[in-house]
Amino acid sequence: MDEQYGASGWATSNIRLLVGTPDANKDGIPDIWTLRADGAVRFYAGSRGEMAHSGVEIVGNSDDGWRNKMTTG
């Protein structure tokens, strides 16, 4: 059964790419990386319930950030 993980802000108009990864911060819970429509890259540490935080900005959107990038290596 699917469960809601985030209540709002996760539409494709806000987030161009969403990638789930194994545990990047070593807390035993898989994490999420996003490429936002404004070009910013954000890291969301996983949790056992709804993701109620806005994540951590890893790449800012100055100079369009990753807005016009097509892929990562």
- 21-35: pLDDT as tens digits: 888 889 998 998 988
Threshold 0.95, pTM exceeds:
no
Positive or negative torsion for Cα 41, 45, 48, 52: negative
The mean pLDDT of the chain is 78
